[in-house]
Copies of this chain bind each other. A is one copy, B any other.
Amino acid sequence: MAQKDDVAARLAAVVGTGNLLTGDAIPDDYAHDEALTSPPQKPAYVAKPATAEEVSELLKAATEAGVPVTARGSGSGLSGGARPAEGGLLVSFERMNAVLEIDTGNHVAVVQPGVTLSELDRMTAEHGLTYPVYPGELSASVGGTVGTNAGGMRAIRYGVTRGNVVGLQAVLPTGEILRTGGRTSKISTGYDLTQLITGSEGTLALVTEATLKLHPRLPHGATVLAPFDDFDQVMAAVPRIVASGLEPHILEYIDNLTMAAMVHNDKLELGVPAEIRDRTEAYLAVALENRVADRVGEDVETLGELLLELGATDAYVLEGGAARKLIEAREKAFWNAKAAGADDVIDVVVPRTAMPPFLTRSRELAQAAGGGVIGCGHAGDGNVHLAIFCPDPDTRTALLTDIFGYAMELGGAISGEHGLGRTKTKYHDKLADPAKLALLRRLKDGFDPAGILNPGVLFA
């Protein structure tokens, strides 16, 4: 253990003794994120750096000692991307949690990776601005959302993390501190390292600062809930709503079972009569927002007519409180699934027109495997969140291989926003084009020749 003590001493010299944990002093929380199928694993070291320079020194030490390194923000990820490796170093960004600047001239926020989305939301709101990436969990850190390329409900209007990160400071495993991009959304000067690092799940570099695009926070909004008898009508309605130019910022489908669970768990009062609820196969929730209050009312009218024309049984305009509760309940879908005993959650993305065959086949495959799936999702993005009920691990692996394989046949991908992490990597390794996998590995080698960054994540 002498070598291990040497490493610990060197890491402690970088961050200070009080900011390095080892052995039994490491709380259980650092052993996992929120993934349902990634067994906890305590790291050998937890370091809490305060600066990019400290991160650089930590990485140099880890590279020299051959210690695997995992980055951690809030630990709210759903794919095991923040679960440390055995004997590894967990770099926790909890002390690098400052909003460094809200730049109202360039409409960007410059933040450290440990900042939570809720803190950023509070600070941008003071300036009438918003960072529009709202994954379900607002305790998520910016660093974590950059790592997974988080999406969330507002992506239909504002895009996912990728398009909203315009610059990064990132540290290579060999210690170099790089700056990519800047306070501008337009650069054609060399390869786009900002977008390459975004979504790389801590396997290429550790992000120590992010420059995020801010948007005007539109003050007026409304949410419309439309029940449909027939799921296929919901799916057919989506492109028509997008084409309308109404620019919804939320466009979610919720299947009847998921809605029933939400109504029950969150005591939602949606004003939908029981006889309509009973015949409903799925709901669309559509939120509109505008700079001008009157326009919201007009647009809700237009949307309501369009929904009826597209086969909705009715269209309910939810008042502020009810709308907020519905959206919050939808954001908690993962926790409902977990509470209901789901064995895994997946977030496949397919072309939105392929959602009906994808869902039909997924249900059939799950039934054939003796299990079941229920779900909801970002209908405008083709991003389907399914809770998987299938307790036997081998059966479930076979089922998910089939489901992911079918999604890919349809032109989709394994994950729309959670990332591959540790839990979906084996499927990617098996199903992805080998030539593409080989290329991804060469890119990884270009950043991380010693392979110390998050081994087991993205590549098995």
Contacts and interface: CB of A to CB of B under 8 A. Distances in A.
A460 interface: no
A321 interface: no
A249 interface: no
Contact of A187 (B107, B179, B185, B416): B416
Count of chain copies: 2
Interface string A63-80: 000000000000000000
Interface string A201-238: 00010000000000010100000000000000000000
Contacts of A179: 433, 436
A439 B187 contact: no
A137 to B, nearest CB: 15
A397 interface: no
A216 B150 CA distance: 25
A419 B193 contact: no
A178 B420 contact: no
Interface in A407-460: 411-420, 424, 428, 432-433, 435-436, 439-440, 442-447, 458
A353 B183 CA distance: 9
Contacts of A351: 103, 105-106, 182-184
A405 interface: no
A105 B184 contact: no
Interface stretch (A27-35, A156-164, A255-263): A156-164
Contacts of A382: 106, 183-184, 186
Interface of A: 103-107, 128-129, 148-151, 155, 159-160, 162-163, 172, 176, 178-180, 182-193, 195-196, 198-200, 204, 216, 218, 239, 242-246, 291-292, 295, 298, 349-353, 378, 381-383, 411-420, 424, 428, 432-433, 435-436, 439-440, 442-447, 458
